[in-house]
Structure 1
């Protein structure tokens, strides 16, 4: 049978998909991830688009229906438009929801059409029959590394059968909670007795009834917990008026009581100064409580011989000066890591001293401040003995939390300071509260069971006692489901109830434990009030998951099981594989997920005994290159390569006649010297090629905020590359380096041209071109080097990148000579001053037919006194503060690009400012964009901040051009000035 090309193997509307992904990243409420956190989730928009494009045939697959290239391209545009419509975030207004539903319906129709044509059938005539047809005839989506479940969730939305599996039990439970449990109880009303009274006559669709019960029993848990432990969370007495310590403009500070939002603590160790006789002093990374303009507040350590240790904390929330705020940001830290200063004597506290005190169990803590909910915002109060004593409770013993933390200093920073067990990450009050809520899960389950048995919703159910873990759908299974979601809510609460939560002074709120994918060490931390309504409260922990369940719960069945992808277990054939596997060594999923697992096990081991039979999550089979686990970096890499290869060797034989799509979290920081790529990217591709897969396409889907500020490092350039693969024939021939190179360049040139025609944005064309390039390499059984050895994947990647460099750089020879000189000089010296470099500059200038006087007059370069320097953007502006293209008789492409970037990045400028500059020299736009691409290529490997500048400029280019249109229409742009740009 002739292979039918799928849309994803030809083109997808990347610009629209990436814009939707970035919009989705900004959404905070109502996302599916509210049910439970998982690591590095892919945006739903990208999953939706990838699945759709993987199922829908490219028009060229049907030459009898679309015989000409023009007709095929017209049809592609129509199919792309469906993607553009359906990737938008589903907003809550009726009109928006209707538009989104219609877009999803159109996508389902197109998938059904491709499936039917492939089977030689007519597609369903009626839209209402499409889902039933897809459930019966379309290959199901299978994600063997399902993680947080976002891929099978989107498969359900598109009307497809959804399967998932994962080695990690936390991932399996999350995915079950998303796609498997809700359909079992779809359309059922809640069983809580209060619902009939409060919401009589309401129609319950999807998982709305189940979500309402989660709310009701979650509220019961809160009320019951407050009876048991509410006394541990006292209110705070607000000061009268604007006495010292009150918040600015607190207005309502009349001496009344207010709910505490958080208690802010600092860890303490004994002073190493012998004169202080072992007095404990604070370790604090910051003393800033609020940095919000107009509401600044700080805490200061004050020497007081009557206080414990000879000092106490005092809050200042009125009249904080800029100097005081700046000093407070330093806390007691003197350097990176665990280096501090003694507040009593000023003597240094070394990291070794802190570590030895921590490992000996001699680190303590002192309350710094109390944050209360005033009538006009946050009130910051100095600590009192009442609030210190309220936290002084006996530490409960929680057997599940006695497991040791991994000895992995890269990801677990607390172990070296004596916090070496999971229990050590919590204060005694937090452990008391969390165990209380964990215990209440089982009690809530009993209440839900009693109510379900009494409810008419389950009257006459044929198997009322079958449990959820045994595929039950009756009262017992329903009570298990309610308890499962409540346990996931407890796990959500755990994230904001550790001694590793930091206080975010700008936003005046608690930040969760996982800022990044590691367990950090916090010296000052925030302990939230579970009975408030702020971050860290039970209200937030159970209401947001209920909202997500209500919104995302499907009526279509899903199936999830625990299984390692490399195990040849229960086989599912004729599937479409869409997956997001582990990324080499980026994230230690199993180790980090134990943070959640130990609490889930405590709450759910009797309900989901198969998932929680172990003390911790399985580690040995996890496909992550973790050196500490495998003894060395090379052994870890070999384990990863072999495991991924084995997994996809097994999986490729289960696929239907369609490509496999695989996400990889590629970062530009993975590019190394000499054009070779890091072990992560190269090893991953080696694994896939070793499993007899060949590549058809690579699509870069940006999954990070485009608004990330300059200076955040190489991760700011992260994106997910979607790899599109097919099985390589068993009789694939071998090739040679010469043949590979001869075939490579014309194929790459055509691929880049196709991407340009398809509207792939310029910043994405490099990564999009990798697929066709490595596809040539991977279609052969092997490629031999000139010495007869087998070419490595890393070498092939370097050759592919070299060809991409050459093709994308074509056109720079038409730049003005100043710009071509600046490019070459920048490649050699960047903007560093070159002592004695004037001679080299003069020699280089001759090659561009330029003189020293002309390059000095250009405004981009300075050769003086024997030294030479290419000017930075700021230096160019300082040299000519009023520079504009219309004032410069012969502006260079280099000047245009640098000034556009400066205007775009400035706080008072942005897109409109860049657009006004461009409007004055509109004909320069193609050259400026090409130079931005070249500068991005030159900086991506070692200058991530500068690379981000050019990446952002390219990404925003359509908006800049629209801003230029507006400037021209408004008459802001002056008429062209002659002579034209050289």
Structure 2
């Protein structure tokens, strides 16, 4: 049976710039953002997740045309703009819980679904009254399943790794089950001001009970741990009395290799700075004894430390003998178990405020009576990501000092004990006990107690991120930075040990506050399901076809399971009784994880095969279960360094595209979604760009044909130029695709042609590879012929050869003649300097500032473009727009040339040269608006349906 399938909005147009701006702003959102529930790696922005899923479900207003019926193009544009405005509202963080905005989006999704069902009457799975379920088979941090639930879908989140499975249960499974329930915890555990009972809507009752029982856990832990975190005697300079330590500051040590030091352990500190804010400068000073066999630490106020560091990337220095300590020696000492630690100072809360106390002013801490309590688990080494291993820290236990282990073990044990307390209180409050836990679908006191313990376990995970020896002291803000500031476990030489029993940053109280604010904003709108599944081997136990949007692992970018054991070892004791199957193994699954593992495969080709074969199987599962009428959307991480001389390519990217095509998908679109804006100079040409490409995929026709390479290139040439015009020109009311994103965006229409065939055959009959297809597509982008004037054609080629440098006149003369002009003619146009046997292109800043296009009878497109860049950089969009108003007919050519030159600069690695072209295009809407004000320039941008 043939399914009638309208084109979806995502297959035609998106307000991409609005989505990217909102995604970028979201990076600075902290309070209430799901990322603060518990750390997970490479989360997608909620703004992008909402926008992509909405556009994936909503029919494009011009879809009737694709079904063989006519459509009013002007009406379609107006309707498309209305949908864009819904997306613009939807992506704003402040609208996350705005029911009016969400209801508009939900209504639009249901409307499009009904239209699709009406086109397919009687077809199984097309019930206009019931949306298909949503499924993300690589749920990870849960952004996509959460936003699907927010938009009205019954949401399934599956993952192989137990940690994200628990996080998804916390976000999409538990809140709907206990929606609108008031807290059961006793009033004595409530905050000073209890929230109004009428407001126990959604998941707010859950968040209040997290606060209450989290407080109980904290109180009990304080009793059991008090002697290990007792107040200290303050030195006389601070007035005497006692103070509570907020943070102990430690450094690692090794025995000096110089015999003159007498075997003394030397401090390895990356920084001795304590505070750097103006007027509060403070640092640690290592004071060497007269015999140069020992040292102590003191605090000094004002100025900067003379000794800034004793260790770096090449090794360390012995403060006793001033002799170097090779890095190989330090590593060998670590591997042999001879690396130690020594306290340098402490941050103390005193009656007069926060102060610093040197280790020499305190009693020496003795940890010898504290037994290690962390679960033993080996670190599976991944070079570059777990380099603690090369310093002898081969187990996760070794990443925590014994007092930190005791604190985490104590809090974890209390989470288990809390379940009985919560269950008892729940029954007292009137919640019946059906005897069923969360895994059995329970909704009574037992399940509720387990639910609260899940959130308490998330607090254990947040605590572990701060209560370890890989944290660092940030002197600018005077706080401890958590361990996972990157997707790695690097060695940290001097670390901050937080007192868990205070209420400062990184404490238990702080963790509870972060998590409670997240729960307050969870939608609890529709049923959610989170379960552990291997995406390559199985799919969700649901017979209906699903809507799929997913964010799979990125080849070898992140060693998820290697790193997540850091949290798993602490979560497992807390939740093993609640989820026995999920926490059945001592460590997270490794062998079946779909990454090109550097840990498990010595040969990178074997790792690539594992990734490609497994991803192909997973994509086939999606293909089999996805609804025929809705495209599948797949996020794939993209680094700017993947765009090089041969175009947009990398082994991971190509391997992934290969899997998509092998799974019988056709790629109908690619959208670059950015979480960092890089339209300005800092990020252009660097690897600062943080993008994902969202692939839009349809099922390939079962009777797809093969074509020859020549036929593929011919079709590519015919269709890609039209797609490029749309991307460069933009749609009405929508910014064009920025030059920095063009190489990624053009993959969509190019791969749509390549992937719709069962194979593209080379001259020898072999199938064309994805690598070859990408190369051909990129050549179309970088070498496409434009009808520029002869002088501009010369400048374009000369710039390709010389950049802004001077070249020999003879070479320039030959090139100019080939382009139908002369060096003298180009010089007369005012774009090159010719003399002394050399020819050089003028930089934008060298063009005359009093130039007006109306007064110039010989204006190559090259001159017009660089004059606009000069005006933009010197005076802003208004000045550049005034120039454009004087030459409206050249607008398309100017913009096209800017794209061509940006792509050329990117390919050659000319970051500084690329900046001006990218700035012009990203400012184009403002420039165009400024030109409108002059009354001369009509919009040149349009989109064909």
Q: 1:957 aligns with which of 923, 934, 939?
A: 923
**Cross-structure match for 2:309:** 331
Equivalent position to 2:429, from 455, 465, 470: 455
Q: 2:24 aligns with which of 22, 25, 45?
A: 22
Say yes or no: does 1:918 pair with 2:862. Answer: no
**Distance change in 2, residues 1:601/1:747 (3 Å):** same
2:278 and 2:85 map into 1 onto residues whose CA distance is: 45
Q: Please list the CA deviations of residues 543-588 of structure 1 after superposition, one character each: whole Å capped at 9, or x if unmatched.
A: 1111101111414211121111111355433111111111111111
CA contact (8 A) 1:668 1:941 kept: no
Q: Which of residues 415, 433, 455 is equivalent to 1:441?
A: 415
CA contact (8 A) 2:372 2:402 kept: no
TM score, norm. by length of structure 1: 0.85
Taking the aligned partners of 1:822 and 1:368, their CA distance within structure 2 comes to 63
Q: 1:275 aligns with which of 229, 239, 260?
A: 260
Q: Is 1:827–2:800 an aligned residue pair?
A: yes
Alignment size in residue pairs: 906
Partner of 2:159: 166
Q: Would you say 1:392 and 2:367 are equivalent positions?
A: yes
Match in the other structure for 1:226: 222
For 1:707 and 1:273, the matched residues in 2 are separated by: 52
User: Structure 1 614/861 Cα, relative in aligned 2: closer, same or farther at 3 Å?
Assistant: farther
Match status 1:313 vs 2:311: no
Report deviation, 1:69. Answer: 1.9
Partner residue of 1:789 out of 766, 777, 786? 766
Check conservation: 2:869, 2:917, Cα contact below 8 A.
no
SS at match of 1:397: coil
Shift of 1:616: 0.4
Confirm whether residue 340 of structure 1 aligns to residue 316 of structure 2. yes
Distance 2:749 2:922 in 1: 26
Match of 2:329 in 1: 353
- CA offset digits 1:316-359 (Å, max 9, x no partner): 232x1xxx36x65x51235xx35122222222211110111111
Aligned counterpart in structure 2 of residue 598 of structure 1, from 548, 559, 569: 569
Scaled by the length of structure 2, what TM-score is found?
0.88
The answer to whether the 8 Å contact 2:680/2:919 transfers is no
* Residues 201-244 of structure 1: per-residue CA shift (max 9 Å, x gap): 4341011101100001111222222222234335567778xx7x
Q: Does 1:722 align with 2:715?
A: no
Q: What are the residue-to-residue correspondences of 1:4-43 with 2, within 5 Å?
A: 4-43=6-45
Choose which of 557, 580, 584 in structure 1 pairs with 2:551. Answer: 580
2:37–2:458 Cα contact (<8 Å) kept: yes
Q: Is contact 1:885-1:921 (8 Å) kept?
A: no
Shift of the alpha carbon at 1:269?
1.2
Taking a change above 3 Å as real, the CA distance of residues 939 and 713 of structure 1, as seen in their structure-2 partners, is closer
Q: 1:526 offset after TM fit, Å?
A: 1.7
Counterparts of 1:708 and 1:39 in 2: how far apart (Å)?
A: 27
- Trace 1:360-371 onto structure 2 (pairs within 5 A): 360-371=336-347
The change in CA–CA distance for 1:525 and 1:735 in structure 2 (over 3 A counts) is same
Give how far 1:439 is off.
1.3
Aligned to 2:909: 943
Secondary structure of residue in 2 paired with 1:581 = coil
Q: State the distance in 2 between where 1:713 and 1:53 align.
A: 31
Task: Pick which of 44-53 and 838-847 moved more.
Answer: 838-847
TM-superposed deviation, 1:177: 0.7
Query: Are 1:215 and 2:211 an aligned pair?
Result: yes
1:238-289 Cα deviation digits (max 9, x unpaired): 778xx7xxxxxxxxx7667554432222211122222222222222222222
Pick the aligned partner of 1:120 from 114, 118, 121.
118
| Equivalent runs, 1:98-497 vs 2, <5 Å | 100-120=98-118, 137-194=130-187, 198-199=194-195, 201-235=197-231, 259-305=244-290, 309-318=293-302, 320=303, 324=304, 330-333=308-311, 337-372=313-348, 379-384=355-360, 386=362, 388-389=364-365, 392=367, 394-398=369-373, 400=375, 402-456=376-430, 458=431, 461=432, 463-497=433-467
Q: Structure 1 residue 114: deviation in Å?
A: 1.2
* 1:935/1:599 CA distance change after superposition, 3 Å: farther
Secondary structure of 1:662's aligned partner: strand
**Offset, 1:655:** 1.4
Alpha-carbon separation, structure 2, partners of 1:951 and 1:868: 22
Post-superposition shift, 1:506? 2.4
Task: Tell me by how many angstroms 1:419 deviates.
Answer: 0.6
1:384 to 1:861, Cα distance in 2 relative to 1, 3 A: farther
Residues 496, 513 of structure 1: 8 Å contact kept: yes
Shift of 1:751: 2.0
In 2, Cα distance between equivalents of 1:543 and 1:41 = 21
Aligned twin of 1:681: 653
Partner of 2:943: none
Match of 1:52 among 48, 51, 54: 54
Q: Distance in 1 between the 2:201 and 2:923 partners?
A: 44
**Where does residue 805 of structure 1 map in the other structure?**
782
- Secondary structure of 1:552's match? coil
1:172 Cα deviation from its structure 2 partner: 0.8
Matched residues in 1 for 2:925 and 2:227: separation? 56
Residue in 1 aligned with 2:603?
Answer: 632
Q: Is the 8 A contact 1:21 1:46 kept in 2?
A: yes
Query: Cα deviations across residues 165-218 of structure 1 (Å, max 9, x unaligned)?
Result: 111111111111100011111111100111798457434101110110000111
Q: Does 2:602 match 1:667? A: no
Quickly say closer, same or farther: Cα 1:738–1:937, change in 2 above 3 A.
Answer: same
After superposing the two structures, state which structure 1 stretch, 168-177 or 934-943, moved more.
934-943
**Residues 299-329 of structure 1, C-alpha deviations (whole Å, 9 max, x = no match):** 232222489x4222233232x1xxx36x65x
1:748 corresponds to which of 708, 714, 720: 720
